[in-house]
Chain A
Amino acid sequence: AQSVTQLGSHVSVSEGALVLLRCNYSSSVPPYLFWYVQYPNQGLQLLLKYTTGATLVKGINGFEAEFKKSETSFHLTKPSAHMSDAAEYFCAVTRTGANNLFFGTGTRLTVIP
């Protein structure tokens, strides 16, 4: 079975501050891990994903995430928050042969000017 836990349903940061959104996964096999962002009234857009290889993954808009197998984590970070980063962020996991993504419950990021 696979599942994802996102700690913190709401996170607020000041503009220019570090963004850290936490994601822990559960998987009995090597996982594929994804971060998606959802802006109001829009669908989900892929930020980045980890499948194999380098454990530090860089995505769009300055975001990156590191796959840490020992900690079963895939936390999302960005060094300096912009107002445009305000959105809801979803971590998701799947595995080879799977037909769907398993999503976390999401973290709503607020950026304070």
Chain B
Amino acid sequence: GAGVSQSPSNKVTEKGKDVELRCDPISGHTALYWYRQSLGQGLEFLIYFQGNSAPDKSGLPSDRFSAERTGGSVSTLTIQRTQQEDSAVYLCASSPRLVAGGSDTQYFGPGTRLTVL
């Protein structure tokens, strides 16, 4: 079946502009995660959605970052007033969350490479 898809694959923007990154999870997966992969920081958790529960936003680095998940499926990560330090690969993952707790396998998309000039 189809895996996690993300768009765009590459995004170049100017400092101060807003960007939106999209994630389509695997059909039927109730859990959705956003991570950021950058040279200096490695892979960092950003935000987690599970069903209709309030999202876990504990990893968002600043209030310029926000995300939403509509209809329990597609998610959009928005970065406002982008800064050069936001340049990174943004990875989305989904999991079926069959059991409570962290043992689920997370399935990752190919990522969006964001470059802020």
Contacts and interface: CB of A to CB of B under 8 A. Distances in A.
Classify the interface of chain B: helix, strand, loop or mixed. Answer: strand
A41 B100 CA distance: 32
Interface size class of chain A, counting residues whose CB lies under 8 Å from the partner chain: 20 to 34
Contacts of A24: none
Contact of A51 (B91, B93, B103): B103
Interface string A68-94: 000000000000000000000010101
Contacts of B33: 99-100
Task: Name, among A32, A44, A97, A101, the residue most crowded by chain B CB atoms within 10 Å (CB to CB).
Answer: A44
Given A100-B48, A101-B45, A32 B110 contact: no
Interface residues of B, number: 24
B42 A106 contact: yes
Contacts of A90: 43
A104 B91 contact: no
Nearest to B107: A46
Given A100-B45, A101-B45, A94 B102 contact: yes
B92 to A, nearest CB: 8
8 contacts: A32-B102, A46-B107, A51-B103, A94-B102, A99-B56, A100-B59, A102-B45, A103-B44
Interface of B: 4, 33, 35, 42-45, 48, 50, 56, 59, 91, 93, 100-103, 105-111
